Amino acid sequence: MGMSTHVVGFRPPDEKWRKMKAAWEACSDAGISPPPEVEDFFNGAAPDDAGVEVRVERTEAVSPYTCESGSGYEVDLTKLPKGVTILRFYNAW
């Protein structure tokens, strides 16, 4: 089994995010699926308290990095999409 490393960015929660989260939670409490607009807003996953996930991994802001004993990513902070204030690095197996 291999491991892969990923980078995602987040814009902090705003008023729209809070309303969408409230709708998601109301649907969850009622035992029903959220409407497509709400599900699409959160990319089909439960709301993340970090905010709205923004694709950064395959943009000019993130480039692969390798050295003699490792590999990973370099992130050019000046090229991140507007509003991104959090970067999350994670490994998946």
Mean pLDDT of 8-27: 96
Q: Burial, 34: exposed, middle or buried (Cβ in 10 Å; 0-12, 13-18, 19+)?
A: buried
24/27 Cα distance (integer angstroms): 5
For the chain, give me the number of helices (H) and strands (E)?
Answer: 2, 5
> Which string of b and e fits 56-92 if b means at least 16 CB within 10 Å?
beebebbeeeeeeeeeebebeeeebeeebeebeeeee
Mean pLDDT of 75-90: 95
Could you tell me the residue ranges of all domains in the chain? 4-92
The whole-number pLDDT of residue 40 equals: 94
The whole-number pLDDT of residue 16 equals: 95
Within 10 Å of residue 42's Cβ, how many Cβ atoms?
17
This prediction's pTM: 0.78
Q: Which residues pair with 62 in a beta bridge?
A: 75
32-64: pLDDT as tens digits: 999 999 999 998 899 999 999 988 988 999 999
- Give me the chain's average pLDDT, please: 93
The whole-number pLDDT of residue 1 equals: 74
